[in-house]
């Protein structure tokens, strides 16, 4: 995907709000050294519980031959999340990710 359509831009904003309302977040990381860029969406399986034990997570990964675009990566990860193309991840893994100093890359 080289450019998002108007509908995709609207969906991305709406989905970001839904994720935030469910106490989730979107994390994106630019390419570093020899690592590709990626985005993930993480929403607690039980949003009403403050310390979630498990998260539903959806990913998008930038191919080596593509130019990283944060918004496109977020859109792809959000779309996968909305289509229930997710995996479960323990809360401590999410906590460790955030404690590693990558907070600047968190959108929500």
In contact, 15 and 83? CB cutoff 8 Å: no
Strand partners, 41: 26, 58
CB atoms within 10 A of CB 80: 18
Mean pLDDT of 86-99: 84
Sheet of 54-61, strands arranged across:
25-29, 38-44, 54-61, 87-90
What is the pLDDT of the chain when averaged over all its residues?
Answer: 85
Domain ranges, ordered by start, for the chain:
6-95
Quick one: pLDDT at residue 87? Answer: 94
Quick one: pLDDT at residue 101? Answer: 55
Q: What is the pLDDT of residues 29-45, one digit of tens each?
A: 888 777 788 899 999 98
**Predicted confidence band at 60 (pLDDT cuts at 50, 70, 90)?**
very high
> Can you read off the two tokens belonging to residue 55?
């998260």
Give this prediction's pTM.
Answer: 0.83
> Can you read off the two tokens belonging to residue 71?
């918004």
In contact, 24 and 41? CB cutoff 8 Å: yes
Mean pLDDT of 45-50: 76
Determine the 3-state secondary structure of 96 from DSSP.
Answer: helix
> Can you read off the two tokens belonging to residue 60?
């998008």
Least confident of 4-8, 12-16, 55-59, 100-104: 100-104
């Amino acid at each position: 995907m080289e450019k998002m359509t108007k509908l995709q831009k609207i969906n991305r904003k709406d989905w970001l709000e839904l994720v935030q309302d469910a106490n989730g977040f979107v994390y994106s990381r630019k390419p570093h050294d020899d690592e590709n860029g990626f985005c993930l969406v993480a929403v607690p399986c039980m949003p009403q519980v403050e310390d979630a034990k498990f998260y539903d997570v959806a990913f998008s990964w930038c191919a080596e031959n593509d130019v990283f675009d944060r918004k496109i990566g977020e859109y792809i990860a959000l779309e996968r999340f909305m289509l229930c193309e997710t995996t479960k991840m323990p809360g401590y893994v999410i906590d460790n990710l955030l404690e590693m100093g990558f907070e600047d890359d968190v959108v929500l």
